[in-house]
Amino acid sequence: MKANTSPKIAVNLGRLKLKNPVMTASGTFGYGEEYAGFVDLNSLGAIVVKGLSLKPRLGNPPPRIMETTGGMLNAVGLQNIGVDVFIEEKLPYLRQYDVAIIANIYGETYDEYKKVARILSAVKGVHALEVNISCPNVKNGGLSFGCDPKIAARVTRAVKDETGLPVIVKLTPNVTDITVIAQAVEKAGADIISLINTLTGMSVDLKTKRPHLNNITGGLSGPAIKPVALRMVWQVVQRVSVPVIGIGGIMTAQDALEFLILGAKAVQIGTANFINPHATMEVVEGIKNYLAVNKIKDINEIIGTFKP
């Protein structure tokens, strides 16, 4: 059933204004071009591009992925073309579209984060930065930046010092208490918080007794992680006042709406793109339809309406 007046679906995440709350998750949508044959990129709230580092990265040796029940493990190892090639070869293509472009960035040192942020802030067509703090900190024994509130805060400040763009900090769920990290990055100046990144997991080959992934461990994504993501988003929205983006296992509009009801201002669609390249557009349409059927005029009326 469709209503006659189409509901308002624009959302504001502070200064970052999106025409709808549906974004792509970094690493699952390439640089946009890979999905342009399937999705009208103009119909999305935002495109978050594959994570960019200062220099190109080779990534991990294969096998890099393994299917699991209701999801998949990946250990791609942040293979990417590097920030300079992105600006030269990929950004001009994305600029033709009327959609917010968000550059996901990461580094192995504070200095690398700063440099990537600085370079991307000097070019036209990037609307926000999303900082991946889940990657290993080489100067700190390879421990993830995102596991320690002090270090997570320092990365956030390092990026904030270099950019005037809105800064989204993407949190890892592989911590004891995600709210501590969320509060630390908020205090350090994060404009928006997105969560969750993948959950660390493993898979064993019974025949060979070896891991299915060359890297041994990998990041679990897909619908299997949605309940964990919902729980963490719920915990975080109660503790921070900056806008929150919900990520984790969203396959359908119903899934996305659960995150919005909890208080997320927007969502990111990740692994769903792999098995259904139309997933993002279907979620946008499904949200519109839900609002129309329930006679809700504006999406903002349902954000944060959770009744615990």
Name the residues annotated as catalytic: 135
Give the footprint of another protein on residues 15-34 (CB under 8 A).
27-30, 34
Q: What's the min distance (Å) between Cβ of 131 and another protein?
A: 20
Which residues, in sequence order, are bridge partners of residue 17? Answer: 12
Which residues, in sequence order, are bridge partners of residue 101? Answer: 47
Among 271, 280, 284, 299, binds another protein (CB under 8 A): 271
Does 142 engage in binding with another protein (CB under 8 A)? no
Q: What's the min distance (Å) between Cβ of 174 and another protein?
A: 21
- Window of 110-118, 137-145, 270-278, 280-288 that interacts with another protein by CB under 8 A: 270-278
Distance of CA 97 to the CA centre of its chain: 20
Among 14, 70, 92, 142, binds another protein (CB under 8 A): 70
The contact pattern for another protein, residues 190-229, with x = CB under 8 A and - = no contact, is: --------------------------------xx------
Among 16, 21, 64, 191, binds another protein (CB under 8 A): 64
| Cβ neighbours of residue 162 closer than 8 Å, sequence gap 6 or more | 114, 117, 118, 121
Q: What's the min distance (Å) between Cβ of 273 and another protein?
A: 7
- Identify which of 69, 76, 78 has the alpha carbon closest to the alpha carbon of residue 203: 69
Does 185 engage in binding with another protein (CB under 8 A)? no
Helix, strand or coil for residue 211? strand
Instruction: Determine how β-strand 217-221 pairs with β-strand 71-74.
Output: antiparallel
Environment class of residue 154 by beta-carbon count within 10 Å: exposed (0-12), middle (13-18) or buried (19+)? Answer: middle
Q: What is the distance between the alpha carbons of residues 74 and 63, in angstroms, rounded to a whole number?
A: 9
Q: List b or e across 170-179, with b for residues whose CB sees 16 or more CB atoms inside 10 angstroms.
A: bbbbbbeebb
Does 82 engage in binding with another protein (CB under 8 A)? no
Q: What's the min distance (Å) between Cβ of 171 and another protein?
A: 22
- CA geometry: angle at 57 spanning 266 and 167, to 5°? 30
Does 4 engage in binding with another protein (CB under 8 A)? no
Number of residues forming the site for another protein (CB under 8 A): 38
**Number of Cβ within a 10 Å radius of residue 218:** 28
Helix, strand or coil for residue 52? strand
Does 67 engage in binding with another protein (CB under 8 A)? yes
Does 290 engage in binding with another protein (CB under 8 A)? no
**Number of Cβ within a 10 Å radius of residue 85:** 14
Does 285 engage in binding with another protein (CB under 8 A)? no
Among 202, 274, 282, 285, binds another protein (CB under 8 A): 274
CB-nearer residue toward another protein: 187 or 210: 210
Binding residues for another protein (CB under 8 A): 27-30, 34-38, 50, 58-72, 74, 76, 79, 222-223, 251, 271, 273-278
